Structure formats: C-alpha cells, structure tokens
Amino acid sequence: MQMRRRTAVPGRDGTRPRPVSRRGVLGATLAGGLAATGGATGAGAAGGRREERPAEQRSGRPRPSAGGAVRLRWLGNNGWEIRIERDGHTRTVLIDPWLTRFRTGTYTPEGADPDTPVTVDKPLIDRHGLRADQILVTHGHYDHLPDVPHLAATTGATVLGTESHVNMMRAMGAPEEQLSVVSGGELLQCDGYTVQVLPSLHSMVGEHPRVPFPGTRPAEVPPRPRVISDLVEGGTLAYRVTVNGFSIVNFGGSNFSEAGLAGVRADLVLMQPGGSAIHALVPRMLRALDHPAYVVPTHWDDIDHPLDEPARDWGGLDSLRRAVREASPGSRFLVLDHLETLTL
C-alpha cells in the first residue's frame, strides 16, 4: 500500500511548560523516508480487521501453538492485541490500548501542549469491540494509559501496571478489583500462555537527557488526571507473552534494562524507533533477546491521525529498519499497518 510522506520535525525536551514532541519523547534519530508496509488492503473502518497475513517461520524456531494460532494486531501507537486461539477457545491480551487518539499536535513544529485536556472517547472505543483477559500497561503517559480504565470496565480484564499506573487508573475510575500492581520479575501462568513482567526503562531525551513527564504516584490515589502532563511516566515495564514456547516481547519506550532481560529470549520483538540518547540501543537489545526471528516496529505512527486511516510514519521507521539489518541480519523486519493482523 502507499502512504503519504511526512517531513521530519525536530524534537523537544518534553519538560513543562514547553510543548512535547513525540519525536523528542522517543529520542529519535532523525531520518526521513517512509516505507510501505505491504500486506494491508486499504484503510479499515473502526472496529474492522485488515486482511491477515502469515509470518514465515525461520528454521529452528518453534511455532506458537499446537492446534491453534496466535494473531497479533496493531492498534496504533504501542497498542497491540494478541489473540491466542486453541482448543476452540480464544484468549486475548491487550498492550497499551489507546484508541481515542485525541489531538495533541505532537508531530507539529510546536509539539504537544502539556495542558492538552485528557479525553476518553467511550463510543469510539466501544465500536472496536475489543475483548481482553489481561491488559498490560507499560507506562503512564497520555498515549498509553487513558483508555485502559474504560476497557477494564467493559472487558472485565485483569490490568497489570506499577503502583503509580494503578493509582492513576483508580483516579480515572478503573474497577478496583481488576487492578494488579506489578514491579517487574513476575511470571504469570494464564490459560494456555504465560505473561512475564520485565523491569524496563523509558526513553531519555533532550540536550540534557531525561524522561519526559517524569514522576510517580505512590501510596495515595491522585486527583483525576485533567491534562496530559498529569499522566506521569510512573515507572516503565516491558512484557513477554509466551505461547507453546513462542515468545513475543513488547517495549513501551525506546530504552530497556539489560539486567532486566537476563535469561530472556524472544522470537518476536515489538521495538520502537528512536533512542538516539541511548548507547547502541538496537544492537544491545537484539543481542540481549538472542536475535529474534522477527522484529515488528511499534509506536512509529503520527498519533494525530485516526486508526481508520493508513499509518503515517513520524520519521523513525527507516532508521530502525537499517539498524536492525546491521545488528541482526537474520531477523525479518515486518511492518504492520493500522488494524492489520499478523498470523503467527
């Protein structure tokens, strides 16, 4: 499919009261160009599903499931749906599902205004008809957390996040009994798969590298978040979902903890562009994960455009593609479009 080009926009440091650019938040290595994804069949309507395409298996790697399938669908930004189908049953894991995509101006030259109101479009979310057994929150920023309380209420899912994430979700009305505080290191046995919580790190950006909208919300439930700067990072987690020996690892930021990945391997990694402030991010991450068979980019689209339009590259996709090719030439780089599904 064809996608429109977008001009690179310089990043900002993301500190209040200055506007925040997601290019800055991700610490992007600025490189122009936009790659066609391939395999998609036009823009899908909200709640629709694009044509599914299978992933070829690299020799020596296990298939995800016996008598079933694993389907990976991109919900835009770092939002992912993992559907595990086996023995006539479907289990679903959501990661950072953010469908509202309220306009922030993140990719404009001015960047996102920290005083942008936080909104949750419940009818739009409901039109997607998502189901979930678990919802995994990587961190608390405005493009990751706001829709989760409503999705928890409508799906009955267990929601995993740090104490800060959970407290911010409590402030937004998430069902208390469904919230589970995790710290990194937990390995949860689910119905036919496991979820491993991994300690991780957020991107550091700016002339004096630091985490945008930093801070925590421990102990007490804060006031309901009103503007995007109220949704602080709150610690960052990564997650590994494993089905029949096949592991999918997702990172919510352009950084990671090398110690947190000790003994962790992946068959497929959901990796973000960016991370220019982090030393040798791509080769270090891929080496730590034992050079996954598949690298699928995440968090590469301009979030001011809705999911029923083709994804628009904010400018980091080609840089990530090149870095993966150089660091792990045996890994297959697969790019999904909005709402496109990859069958593993």
Confidence band of 105 (pLDDT split at 50, 70, 90): confident
**pLDDT tens for each residue of 253-270:** 999 999 999 999 999 999
**pLDDT tens for each residue of 310-336:** 999 999 999 999 999 999 999 999 999
From CA 218, how far away is CA 329, in angstroms rounded? 43
From CA 37, how far away is CA 1, in angstroms rounded? 7
The one-letter amino acid at 19: P
Computed over every residue of the chain, the mean pLDDT equals 85
**pLDDT tens for each residue of 127-139:** 999 999 999 999 9
Residue 73 forms beta bridges with which residues?
81, 341
Residues 217-232 as b/e (b if ≥16 CB within 10 A, e otherwise) read beeeeeeebeebbbbb
pLDDT at 175: 98
Contact 67, 86 (CB under 8 A): yes
> Whole-prediction pTM value?
0.85
pLDDT at 67: 55
Tell me: cis bond preceding 123? Omega within 30 of 0 counts: no
**Cα four-point dihedral sign 316, 336, 238, 81:** positive
pLDDT at 201: 98
Q: Which tokens in the block code for residue 139?
A: 């961190």
Confidence band of 40 (pLDDT split at 50, 70, 90): very low
pLDDT higher than 80, residue 273: yes
